[in-house]
Copies of this chain bind each other. A is one copy, B any other.
Amino acid sequence: MWIQRQIELRPRPRGFHLVTDEIAEAVPELTSLSVGIATLFMQHTSASLTLNENASPDVRRDFAEWFDRAVPDGAGYFAHTLEGPDDMPAHIKASLTGSSLTIPVASGALALGTWQGIYLCEHRDSGGARRVVFTASGESANIRS
């Protein structure tokens, strides 16, 4: 059994944003899979996805702080500057965190750990809406009923 859906995440300010519930609500069919694998895939090169702590907003703030220091806006050694001082850092941050997440499915839900949440990593100042492709395959619980 295969599930595939385009999910559009509304525009968000630069930073790290918790989108676990928004993703889960977009794929109600997931409840029919007893076991499987789900992939979330970001179709952009200046935003990305990662899993991290789902509780303290300070963690997400500190992510932004660290990444902005590690890959500074407008660094003098960048050649690709036409699209603004936040563009080339956005590309590098996107590759450091990654374009996709692969998450096991168990008993009809994403098998996240207790403290894990899905972060939309928005690396542009004005990135706009972001498209994510959700794809899952697995065994349907109903097959055996």
Please report A residues at the B interface, Cβ cutoff 8 Å. Answer: 2, 4, 35-37, 39, 41-45, 50-53, 56, 58-59, 61-63, 65-66, 69-71, 75, 77-80, 88, 91-92, 94-106, 111-116, 119, 131, 133, 135, 137-139
Flag if B59 contacts A88 (CB, 8 Å).
Answer: yes
Flag if A80 contacts B66 (CB, 8 Å).
Answer: no
Given contacts A45-B51, A61-B79, A70-B70, contact A131 B113 (CB under 8 A): yes
Please name the residue on chain B nearest to A42 by beta carbon: B113
Flag if B115 contacts A36 (CB, 8 Å).
Answer: no
The CA of A101 and the CA of B42, in the complex, are separated in Å by 12
Other contacts beyond A37-B135, A59-B88, A104-B135: 11, CB < 8 A: A2-B36, A2-B138, A37-B37, A39-B104, A45-B53, A45-B115, A52-B94, A52-B95, A61-B80, A66-B92, A137-B138
The A interface, classified by DSSP as helix, strand, loop or mixed, is mixed
Chain B residues lying within 8 Å of A36, measured Cβ to Cβ, are: 2, 135, 137
Please name the residue on chain B nearest to A121 by beta carbon: B95
Flag if A80 contacts B92 (CB, 8 Å).
Answer: no
